[in-house]
Amino acid sequence: MSGTDLGRYLDEVTAIAVEAGKLTLKYRRDPRVAEKGDHGDDTSPVTDADLAADQYITEHLTALDSQIPIISEESKSADYATRKNWRRFWLVDPLDGTKEFVRGSDEFTVNIALIDNVEPVLGVIYVPARELLYYAEKGGGSWRRRGDGKPVRIFSSVPDLSKGLTVVESKSHPSPEWEDYLKDFPVKERVSTGSSLKFCLVAEGLADIYPRMNPTMEWDVAAGDCIYRNSARLGQRKSSLTYNKPTVKNGHCEKRQIRHGVQVNEG
């Protein structure tokens, strides 16, 4: 997929993410919360904001290019027999960090990614309550924009292990396994934040690594993975994540894989 093709989509997709984010803010005062089956035995919360943003994003991505299929957290996905033949598709998490949203935190995001040949080639993360936008396209770098301000290119950095690591971690998934996991590494600082903001902290050099102990879904990580991959000063950062697997669930991070960057196993 050429840079010209990606550029044709990028402005439209960032605008879609921003408008969907504004829509979620209308539900902050009194979010109606229900429980849904989460592609397995577990359940997770869903609100009117999730569903409204999902509808808005789906309608506008379809209008943008009706030939590209969509996988969204809040919509029924095609089975693998159908989607295994897809080369290109959208991965959408219309409201990432629903638990933070319900608690009244501002650490929730809108995530949209374009997958091409199992790789995220375009990624957009919008933080509605902060009017903060992150985005990237393959070969075009990673960027941050506040409100209507000028976009600023962001870069991840290779950590100096002798000075210790800044580790970004989840607010919603603490565990004894996580505490045990960190014992083997020179941790200087632990930064706790919600949603896909963890990817953004690594991508802009404010954190060194994001190990994820709990499983994730492909739509949880695709946009952030794209922003991280393109945050290098030259070329791309490596990532072990791939997309459109038979199951769209990713596994947990293993100690042997610790290195600079985002640590989420592909399953």
> Any idea where the domains of the chain sit in the sequence?
3-154, 161-259
Distance spanning both ends of the chain, measured CA to CA: 26
Please report how many Cα atoms fall inside a 13 Å half-sphere around the Cα of residue 250, on the Cβ side. 24
Q: What is the pLDDT of residue 38?
A: 53
If phi over 0 gives left and psi between -120 and 50 gives alpha, with beta otherwise, what is residue 95?
Answer: beta
DSSP one-letter code for 131: T
Q: Tell me the two tokens of residue 148.
A: 């209507």
**Distance between CA atoms of residues 152 and 145, nearest Å:** 6
Q: Can you give the pTM of this predicted structure?
A: 0.90
pLDDT by 10s per residue, the chain, length 267: 555 567 789 999 999 999 999 999 999 988 889 887 555 445 688 999 999 999 999 999 999 999 999 999 998 888 999 999 999 999 999 999 999 999 999 999 999 999 999 999 999 999 999 999 999 999 999 999 999 999 999 999 888 888 898 999 887 666 777 788 788 888 999 998 988 999 999 999 999 888 777 788 999 999 999 999 999 999 999 988 889 999 898 876 543 333 445 444 333
Q: Which residues pair with 216 in a beta bridge?
A: 250
**Distance between CA atoms of residues 74 and 217, nearest Å:** 12
Q: Which residues are annotated as a binding site for substrate?
A: 73, 95-98, 220
Per-position b or e across 200-239, b if 16+ CB within 10 A of its CB: bbbbbeebbbbbbbbbbbbbbbbbbbbbbbbbbeeebbeb
Q: Tell me the two tokens of residue 69.
A: 């299929």
Name the residue type at position 175.
S
Name the residue type at position 205.
G
Q: Which residues are annotated as a binding site for Mg(2+)?
A: 73, 93, 95-96, 220
Q: What is the CATH number of domain 3-154?
A: 3.30.540.10
Residue carrying structure tokens 């930064």: 191
Please report how many Cα atoms fall inside a 13 Å half-sphere around the Cα of residue 129, on the Cβ side. 17
Q: Which residues are annotated as a binding site?
A: 73, 93, 95-98, 220
DSSP β-ladder status, 152-154 and 142-146: antiparallel
Q: What is the pLDDT of residue 258?
A: 37
Q: Tell me the two tokens of residue 177.
A: 């396994």
Q: Which residues pair with 189 in a beta bridge?
A: 166
Q: Tell me the two tokens of residue 84.
A: 């295994």
Fold of 161-259: D-Maltodextrin-Binding Protein; domain 2 (3.40.190)
**Distance between CA atoms of residues 90 and 201, nearest Å:** 23
